[in-house]
Each structure stands twice: as structure tokens, then as C-alpha cells.
């Protein structure tokens, strides 16, 4: 059974839309499931989220704060839940840091890999659902939002690099991912998730 599952993909890809139903489907099969998110998941992490999503800062500071929040998240929430036999589903995890800080902000991949080794000590999700959308679709879905955070306000070239960063991570660790065509309708994406659930 896959115990640590992450949802990844660009802003507007549909992660949050499908996460609760996916968790409920696993609960219906008798699993204990906790749902969490990054940045966030702890009191400290949520405070860091506020700062990270609103405040401009250097690339290094941004990456370090992401991993600081992740260290706390692992220690306080993820590791204890996995040790207790629960399934953990996180709305974003370190692939997002590689996509946004690594690829989109053009940071050195090796620096992030060093932080990843330090903070995660070899722990990786058992399964990552990558909601793949085009930049055009992502933009269209965010168009109705009244307030956009620091990342959502970025231009299309930034999001093209985010998407390329996710694809680079998938290429580096292909066995960990299920790639969904998230440009489809909500119903069709839900069907793709059903198929994945049946393979768990």
C-alpha cells in the first residue's frame, strides 16, 4: 500500500478540487488518512506560508524557508502519522520547491537536492499525482480569483518554467509519479483518479 501520497502541479491544476474525495475513497477502504499541505501543515508552517506567499525575498531565503517549513512538517505531522500506520496525503511537497524555486526562479538544482537530503533523509513520497496542465489552462482557471498570491501574480514564462521543472522531476524519478491530464473536465480527471486508486 502507498502510504505517503503527494498532489503536485501548477496553480489551478485542480489539486485541491480532487483531494478530499481521493482521501474519502481511501477512508472508505478502511484506511486512516490525514490530509495536509505545503507550505503549511503545522502552526509554524502556516505562519511561514503567509510570509512565503505574500512577501518578496531572495531566492535562497525562499528556498530555505520552504525547507524549514518542511522540516517541521515532517517532524510534527508526516513522520508520526506514517509511523502510526496512517496514509498521509499532502497538497504539494518538495517537487513544488524544485519546480518553483529551482526551475522557475532558476536556482541551482544541486542546492535544492542538498536541502532535500538534509531535511528528508531519504524519505520520498510513495506516489505523487502530478496534475499536468498547460499554462494557458492554469491562467484561465485563476482568472476568476479576486486576490492572487505572490506566485500566482507571476507571468506566463515563470509558469512555463514551473511546468518544465515538474517534468524534469518526473523524468528523474519516473516510478514515483502518476501523471494526470489535468486539462480535462473535472469529471474526467476524477475518472483518472479512480483508475489510480484501483492500482493502489
For residue 132, list its beta bridge partners.
181
Tell me which of ligand ATP, Mg ion, none is bound by residue 161, counting a contact when its beta carbon lies within the kind-specific cut-off of 5 to 8 angstroms: none
Interacting residues toward Mg ion by CB under 5 A:
15-16
Q: Between residue 171 and residue 190, which ones bind ligand ATP under the rule CB under 6 A?
A: 184-186, 189
Tell me which of Mg ion, ligand ATP, none is bound by residue 69, counting a contact when its beta carbon lies within the kind-specific cut-off of 5 to 8 angstroms: none
Query: C-beta of 118: minimal distance to ligand ATP in Å?
Result: 26
Task: Establish if 132 lies at the interface with ligand ATP (CB under 6 A).
Answer: no
Q: Which is nearer to ligand ATP, 107 or 189 (CB)?
A: 189
Task: Establish if 102 lies at the interface with ligand ATP (CB under 6 A).
Answer: no
Contacting residue, 49, 70, 105, 141, with ligand ATP by CB under 6 A: 141
Query: C-beta of 109: minimal distance to ligand ATP in Å?
Result: 22
Q: Which is nearer to Mg ion, 15 or 141 (CB)?
A: 15
For residue 5, list its beta bridge partners.
89, 127
Q: Which is nearer to Mg ion, 47 or 145 (CB)?
A: 145
Beta strands in the chain (DSSP E): 4-9, 33-37, 87-91, 127-132, 177-181
Check: CB of residue 135 under 8 Å from CB of residue 156.
Answer: yes
Residue 7: C-alpha distances to residues 10, 16, 66, 107, 118 (Å): 10, 9, 17, 23, 22
Task: Establish if 40 lies at the interface with ligand ATP (CB under 6 A).
Answer: no
Residue 86: C-alpha distances to residues 36, 50, 82, 130, 186 (Å): 13, 28, 5, 22, 27
| x/- map, 1-20, ligand ATP, by CB under 6 A | --------x-xxxxxxx---
Per 3-state DSSP, the chain is made up of helix, strand and coil in percentages (nearest 5) of 60, 15, 30
Task: Establish if 163 lies at the interface with ligand ATP (CB under 6 A).
Answer: no
For residue 9, list its beta bridge partners.
131
Amino acid at each position: 500500500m502507498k502510504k505517503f501520497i503527494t498532489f503536485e502541479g501548477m496553480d489551478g491544476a485542480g489539486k485541491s478540487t480532487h483531494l478530499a474525495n481521493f482521501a474519502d475513497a481511501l477512508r472508505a477502504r478502511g484506511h486512516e488518512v490525514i490530509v495536509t499541505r505545503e507550505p503549511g501543515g503545522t502552526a509554524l508552517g502556516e505562519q511561514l506560508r503567509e510570509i512565503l506567499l505574500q512577501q518578496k525575498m531572495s531566492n535562497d531565503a525562499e528556498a530555505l524557508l520552504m525547507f524549514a517549513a518542511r522540516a517541521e512538517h515532517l517532524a510534527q505531522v508526516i513522520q508520526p502519522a506514517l509511523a502510526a500506520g496512517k496514509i498521509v496525503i499532502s497538497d504539494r511537497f518538495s517537487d513544488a520547491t524544485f519546480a518553483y524555486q529551482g526551475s522557475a526562479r532558476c536556482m541551482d538544482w544541486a542546492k535544492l537536492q542538498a536541502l532535500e537530503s538534509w531535511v528528508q533523509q531519504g524519505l520520498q513520497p510513495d506516489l505523487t499525482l502530478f496534475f499536468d496542465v498547460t499554462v494557458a489552462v492554469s491562467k484561465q482557471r485563476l482568472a476568476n480569483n479576486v486576490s492572487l498570491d505572490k506566485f500566482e501574480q507571476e507571468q506566463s514564462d515563470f509558469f512555463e518554467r514551473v511546468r518544465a521543472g515538474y517534468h524534469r522531476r518526473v523524468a528523474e524519478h519516473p516510478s514515483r509519479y502518476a501523471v494526470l491530464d489535468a486539462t480535462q473536465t473535472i469529471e474526467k480527471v476524477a475518472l483518472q483518479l479512480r483508475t489510480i486508486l484501483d492500482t493502489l
